[in-house]
Structure 1
Amino acid sequence: MSRKHKKHEEHENHERWLVSYADFITLLFAFFVVMYATSSANEEKQKQFEDSIKMELRLSGGGGNTNRTAIEETMLELKMPLGSFPAKGGSGEAQDYVERSLNKSMGSDEKKNSIQDVYSDAVGVRIALAASTFFPAGSAKLKMSALGALDKVAEVLKSNNKRVIVEGHTDDTPIEGSIYPSNWELAAGRSSAVIRYFVKYHSIDAKRFISLSYGDQKPIVPNDTEEHRSMNRRIEVFIITDDKKAEI
């Protein structure tokens, strides 16, 4: 009598989840490898860019005596977005914006020749323009060669709606053979010429501007050398950040 053999029941594999889990871990590992590789490539490119900038600064500074502070500030400006003119806050924040804006828009030589200084006080921030760069001696007619720099100052003014005082300053050299009777009129003509340019060619609201002439009455250094007299010949574009503290 033959016996019927019972079929062995197939055992269910309770470890199949390990296959899916292993696939998931593999994909996750591959994802992080790709992310790391991409990040490393970007860092390498950024490092190469920074090294090239440092090399240019080192070459322009002459030899190996590089000003580390200047490099760090330049790299910070390259990485930092310009943002917008601070609607609120003190004049210090406004000065920072103005300096970064001019540094981004101007070449080093252009800025050195046209901008004497950027500084602030409790009332606002001042952009001191070198009058010798913008005007011929004894004249209030703007030089064509300086209009590019003036355009970049205008862009700073267009970034806000603050009041602006444009001050004319001269040295103490008496006017000779000029249509202007004295340094008062010369300084007034120069400050007015700058305002006219901003209004006519950049469509900045004329109501924002005030023109002032100080002649030779507010020197920043003694008029004892030609270098000092050149520093005193300036046009100051004064952006008012606190109307309550302004005298005008």
Structure 2
Amino acid sequence: MARKHKKHEEHENHERWLVSYADFITLLFAFFVVMYATSNANEEKQKEFEDSIKLNLHLVGNGSNSNGNAIDDAIAELVMPVGNYPRKGGPQEVEDFVERSLDKSMDGDQKKQAIQDIYHDSVGVRIALAASTFFPEGSAKLKMSALTSLDKVADVLKTNKKRIIIEGHTDDVPIVGQLFPSNWELAGGRATAVVRYFVKYHNLDPKRFVAISYGDQKPIVPNDNDDHRAMNRRIEIFIVTDDKKVDI
């Protein structure tokens, strides 16, 4: 007589939820570690921390990962210091953020010499740089002494992915020399030099930038004395907060 084999019922695992729970607790712990580690903004430590996360997630050098950009963006959001760029704020909030950031990173004399003005309109925020601090007279070559100040501005631009328009402005004194036929070329050369510096030495995305020359066509004060002409010689870094209002 054939023996009947009784089919054993498959044992149901009632403890699978523990795996998900453990993952959740791990992620929660990692989140608070990140918040603590980035509470004091330190660019070098922040970069080391970001690289450590990528390494442990096996992301470093994995160019074939189609989700690499999304993961990098997520990590960037994770390690962003609390109270950073107001992503949902308007021009006024962004201006306040820029002002606070530069006040924190630059001493009073450095900011006074480098930053001519910070202001906003309905489209975005402008950081006006004093051209005489960053360029020799009649030149589009950046002064070595001014690069530290430009580095501080670059740090502000790294906090967001907004489009940036670099505008070159001069006074109305005709330029003398063979390198630049007119103030148009001088202003354009200076704007382009700033873009090149941001892209080459700070790895900012070149797709974010536009360089424009206004020459002497947009003075902020009359060119009637040396002080006014110095104010008109400027580089304006325009952070566009509303792309829909800018055609460039």
The interval holding the TM-score normalised by the smaller chain is 0.5 to 0.7
Letter in 2 for 1:141: K
Query: Cα distance, 1:126 vs. partner?
Result: 0.3
Listed one character per residue, the Cα deviations across residues 44-99 of structure 1 (whole Å, up to 9, x for unaligned) are xxxxxxxxxxxxxxxxxxxxxxxxxxxxxxxxxxxxx9711111121000000000
Mapped to 2, the partners of 1:247 and 1:125 lie a distance apart of: 16
Whether the 8 Å contact between 1:82 and 1:100 is mirrored in structure 2 is no
1:124 aligns with 2:91: no
Whether the 8 Å contact between 1:82 and 1:101 is mirrored in structure 2 is no
Listed one character per residue, the Cα deviations across residues 112-140 of structure 1 (whole Å, up to 9, x for unaligned) are 00000000000000000000000000000
Whether the 8 Å contact between 1:164 and 1:238 is mirrored in structure 2 is yes
When residues 96 and 82 of structure 1 are mapped into structure 2, their CA distance, relative to the original with a 3 A threshold, is farther
| TM, length-normalised to structure 2 | 0.67
Classify the secondary structure of the residue corresponding to 1:244.
helix
Whether the 8 Å contact between 1:138 and 1:178 is mirrored in structure 2 is no
1:181 aligns with 2:181: yes
Identity of aligned residues (%): 71
Whether the 8 Å contact between 1:82 and 1:97 is mirrored in structure 2 is no
Match of 1:244?
244
When residues 173 and 82 of structure 1 are mapped into structure 2, their CA distance, relative to the original with a 3 A threshold, is farther
Match of 2:47?
none
Q: List structure 1 runs of 4+ shifted beyond 4 angstroms.
A: none
When residues 178 and 83 of structure 1 are mapped into structure 2, their CA distance, relative to the original with a 3 A threshold, is farther
Match of 1:233?
233
Mapped to 2, the partners of 1:143 and 1:230 lie a distance apart of: 17
Q: Which runs of 5+ in 2 are unaligned?
A: 1-80
Classify the secondary structure of the residue corresponding to 1:109.
helix
When residues 161 and 230 of structure 1 are mapped into structure 2, their CA distance, relative to the original with a 3 A threshold, is same
Listed one character per residue, the Cα deviations across residues 127-168 of structure 1 (whole Å, up to 9, x for unaligned) are 000000000000000000000000000000000000000000
1:212 aligns with 2:240: no
Match of 2:94?
94
Mapped to 1, the partners of 2:152 and 2:82 lie a distance apart of: 14
Letter in 1 for 2:123: V
Match of 1:223?
223
Q: Within 5 Å, which residues of 2 pair with 1:53-64? A: none
Query: Cα distance, 1:178 vs. partner?
Result: 4.0
Match of 2:143?
143
Query: Cα distance, 1:100 vs. partner?
Result: 0.1
Listed one character per residue, the Cα deviations across residues 5-54 of structure 1 (whole Å, up to 9, x for unaligned) are xxxxxxxxxxxxxxxxxxxxxxxxxxxxxxxxxxxxxxxxxxxxxxxxxx
Root-mean-square deviation over aligned CA pairs? 1.1
Query: Cα distance, 1:108 vs. partner?
Result: 0.2
Letter in 2 for 1:221: V
Mapped to 1, the partners of 2:166 and 2:176 lie a distance apart of: 25
Query: Cα distance, 1:247 vs. partner?
Result: 3.3
Q: Within 5 Å, which residues of 2 pair with 1:15-54? A: none
Mapped to 2, the partners of 1:179 and 1:189 lie a distance apart of: 10
Letter in 1 for 2:90: G
| TM, length-normalised to structure 1 | 0.67
Aligned positions, number: 168
Classify the secondary structure of the residue corresponding to 1:126.
strand
Mapped to 1, the partners of 2:247 and 2:173 lie a distance apart of: 29
1:165 aligns with 2:151: no
Letter in 1 for 2:238: F
Mapped to 2, the partners of 1:100 and 1:115 lie a distance apart of: 13
Classify the secondary structure of the residue corresponding to 2:199.
helix
Letter in 2 for 1:130: A
Classify the secondary structure of the residue corresponding to 2:181.
coil
